[in-house]
Amino acid sequence: MQIDVESASDAQLLVAVRKGERRALAKAITLVESTLPAHAKRAQKLIAEIIVSADSSVGAGHTLSKTSALRIGISGVPGVGKSTFIEALGLYLIAAGHKVAVLAVDPSSSLTGGSILGDKTRMEHLSLADAAFIRPSPSSGALGGVTDHTREAILLCEAAGYDIIIVETVGVGQSEIAVAAMTDLFVLMQLPNAGDDLQAIKKGIMELADFVVFNKADIDLIAAQRAVAQMRLALSMLRPSSKFWTPHVMCLSAFKQDGLADFWQQVVDFRLKMQASGEFLSKRQHQALAWMNQQIDSALRQQFRQHPAVAAALPALSVAVENGSVTPAAAAQQLLALVN
Ligand code: GDP
């Protein structure tokens, strides 16, 4: 019998999450996304429980076994075909016996209050599958906050038995860097002839990519193949981020579901190579440390701003910096001295 998630204690909630109950998982993610301090405390306990007691078959935290979940980041501009691809790939993986969770990091929500990825009608077929869990993007909050919660949501999905976690984001730079920092493998989706390759190289996104996938190859296969060749050449001039993996460039058609098996074969190969070299684990360890440092930075910043002396002095000093009567460095020194 399913628990009543509304009245369940946190311990009961965790048990239900571990049983793979989707409503409990959704509720637990809502808890970690909450901005209420009381919820934040409960959420931290829940996550700590999952990480510390992580049996390696689940693979929470950065512990790892052959069966632990694979975290895949997917990025691309709106319209490139992300949801078509994720839906097709998700159904393909479920047919092969996997459980697939899809989480979205949507930078538009913090900038405009709207949401590019949060549209509930996306991935209609996948959302009906029992072995799928799709979480639309949180509708508010700064990018940093949203991504913190996405890391926690990943752990919750893994505790619920999802072994493929897809984190989707729109290509605007900052969010891709955040997603690459929380996944094992980063896929950049592009369109042939879109001319955004150069943009991606300029923004430093290309260095993050383990896979570059040109979608919509059904429209013009020759153009897609040309784009693949050009991208391979461009990438050969960049320094690869791993000694053990050259970014894989390919074209496919998400719409026609053509190329999915080939894509997945390459993903399996990537994982095997990364695990054999030890890089898979070291990347997760590095990500866990970076997450800790990020948490320290944001907690310190919050404590600093909430300090009564800082809160009192900040408005006048900000005006002074704006009108040039105090230098930014001197103002920062004065404010920092208030908390020491
Ligand atoms: P997203 O904004 O990146 O999630 O893009 P969507 O998955 O919503 O796709 C945008 C449009 O492109 C939709 O009309 C899709 O049907 C279409 N589309 C997606 N993949 C393909 C493909 O492989 N071939 C063709 N011809 N159209 C596609």
Residue whose C-alpha is closest to residue 26's, from 138, 189, 124: 138
| DSSP state for residue 239 in the 8-state scheme | P
pLDDT tens for 242-291 read 889 999 999 999 999 999 999 999 999 999 999 999 999 999 999 989 88
8 Å CB contact between 71 and 152: no
Q: In what order do the strands lie in the sheet with 211-214?
A: 132-135, 100-105, 164-170, 70-76, 185-190, 211-214, 248-251
d(CA 83, ligand 1 centre) in Å: 7
Confidence of residue 124 (pLDDT cuts 50, 70, 90): confident
Q: Which of 91, 102, 175, 255 to mutate to test the pocket of ligand 1 (most atoms within 8 A of CB)?
A: 255
- Asked if residue 139 has pLDDT above 50, the reply is no
pLDDT average, residue stretch 223-227: 93
Q: Is 221 close to ligand 1, i.e. is its CB under 6 Å away?
A: no
Any idea which of 65-69, 225-229, 241-245, 311-315 has the lowest mean pLDDT?
65-69
In the block, residue with structure tokens 């996306």:
122
pLDDT tens for 153-163 read 999 999 999 99
8 Å CB contact between 221 and 256: no
pLDDT average, residue stretch 224-238: 89
Q: Is 175 close to ligand 1, i.e. is its CB under 6 Å away?
A: no
Q: Write down the pLDDT at residue 176.
A: 84
Ligand 1 atom closest to Cα of 170? Answer: 3
Q: Is 114 close to ligand 1, i.e. is its CB under 6 Å away?
A: no
What distance in Å separates the CA atoms of residue 68 and residue 62, rounded to the nearest whole number? 10
d(CA 78, ligand 1 centre) in Å: 9
Ligand 1 atom closest to Cα of 189? Answer: 3
What distance in Å separates the CA atoms of residue 38 and residue 72, rounded to the nearest whole number? 31
Q: Is 79 close to ligand 1, i.e. is its CB under 6 Å away?
A: yes
Ligand 1 atom closest to Cα of 86? Answer: 7
Show the 3-state SS of 93-135: HHHCCCCEEEEEECHHHHHHCCCCCCCCCCCHHHHHCCCEEEE
Ligand 1 atom closest to Cα of 215? Answer: 23
Q: Is 81 close to ligand 1, i.e. is its CB under 6 Å away?
A: yes
Between 340 and 165, residue with greater pLDDT = 165
3-state secondary structure of 54: coil
Taking CA atoms, 103 is separated from 125, 136, 273, 313, in Å, by: 16, 6, 26, 41
Q: Is 78 close to ligand 1, i.e. is its CB under 6 Å away?
A: yes
Which stretch of DSSP H or E encloses residue 293? helix 279-306
Confidence of residue 145 (pLDDT cuts 50, 70, 90): very low
Angle between helices 10-18 and 37-52 (to 10 degrees): 50
Q: Is 190 close to ligand 1, i.e. is its CB under 6 Å away?
A: no
What distance in Å separates the CA atoms of residue 135 and residue 293, rounded to the nearest whole number? 26
Which stretch of DSSP H or E encloses residue 168? strand 164-170
Q: Is 251 close to ligand 1, i.e. is its CB under 6 Å away?
A: no
- Beta-bridge partner residues of 211: 187, 248
d(CA 253, ligand 1 centre) in Å: 9
pLDDT tens for 177-207 read 888 999 999 999 999 976 656 665 665 777 8
Taking CA atoms, 214 is separated from 170, 211, 251, 270, in Å, by: 16, 10, 4, 18
Q: Is 254 close to ligand 1, i.e. is its CB under 6 Å away?
A: yes
- Provide φ and ψ at 239, rounded to 5°: -80, 125
Q: Write down the pLDDT at residue 194.
A: 67
Taking CA atoms, 28 is separated from 37, 130, 245, 299, 302, in Å, by: 15, 19, 36, 22, 24
Q: Is 215 close to ligand 1, i.e. is its CB under 6 Å away?
A: yes
Residue whose CA is at the smallest distance from ligand 1 atom 21 = 255
- Asked if residue 330 has pLDDT above 50, the reply is yes
| DSSP state for residue 186 in the 8-state scheme | E
